[in-house]
Amino acid sequence: MAGASDPIHQFQIVPLIGDGTFAFTNSALYMGLTVAAITGFLLLGTSARTLVPGRLQSLAELSYEFVATTIHQTSGRDGMRFFPFVYSLFMFILISNLIGMIPYTFTVASQLIVTFALALAVILTVIGYGFAKHGLAFLKLFVPHGVPLVILPLVVVIEVISFLSRPISLSVRLFANMLAGHITLKVFAGFVTMLSGSLGALGLAIGVLPLALAVGITALEFLVAFLQAYVFTLLACMYLNDALHPGH
């Protein structure tokens, strides 16, 4: 009973195979499912390769063009070299969020360490590519122009902190939105059973209100699932743009 109505219960990591640090957990299972779903979707969508696309091929082309447009708008033509990376990020977050919307499933992005690993992948790519392309000149990213020499050290420190806060904001935003949304949904749905359990028929009548809210929040959560994937992708593109054209 405690497990059924506890809103945090759905985020528990349960080892499925093995034990300890390297156990195959439910989180790993759903990540695997996500990757399998994306791979299956793209393989099926591109298998026909007709000039006039079918339904699945339209969807596959739509997802490609959506990400490609996002990259073009934020970092121009050069940004397309990061397309495989950005597309993988977008699809992984989007599909794992959507799978998490199915009742009784696990939401991968509700674990901070998962979203932080994704954000770290973006930032490390920015740093790695920035240094590879511009060498030590990339460090000028932290030294703004036209600042008096007296306060320059202070400004540089602030710029460095601002840069280091990027993976934090990137990961916490995705994590917090998914966590809070799923908790809210569970709490409102729990009200229905709690009301009817304690007040009987009257409770069931009042329970219509939280039920209606839960339906509304479900729709909102689908929007958030997509929007968070989009925001993550958009910001990843903007940060990658810093590595591409720091002189922009």
Interface residues toward other proteins, by CB under 8 A:
69, 73, 134, 137-138, 140-142, 144-145, 154, 157-159, 161-166, 168-169, 172-173, 176-177, 227-228, 230-231, 234-235, 242, 246-248
Which lies closer to other proteins via its Cβ, residue 17 or residue 168? 168
Q: Smallest distance, Å, CB 127 to other proteins?
A: 13
The secondary element (H helix, E strand) that includes residue 31 is: helix 26-47
247: left (phi over 0), alpha (psi -120 to 50) or beta: alpha
Which lies closer to other proteins via its Cβ, residue 85 or residue 163? 163
CB 115 within 8 A of CB 109: yes
Q: Smallest distance, Å, CB 73 to other proteins?
A: 6
Q: Smallest distance, Å, CB 18 to other proteins?
A: 33
Which lies closer to other proteins via its Cβ, residue 99 or residue 229? 229
Which lies closer to other proteins via its Cβ, residue 106 or residue 138? 138
Closest CA to 98 of 87, 109, 112: 109
Q: How many helices (H) and strands (E) does the chain have?
A: 8, 2
CB atoms within 10 A of CB 15: 14
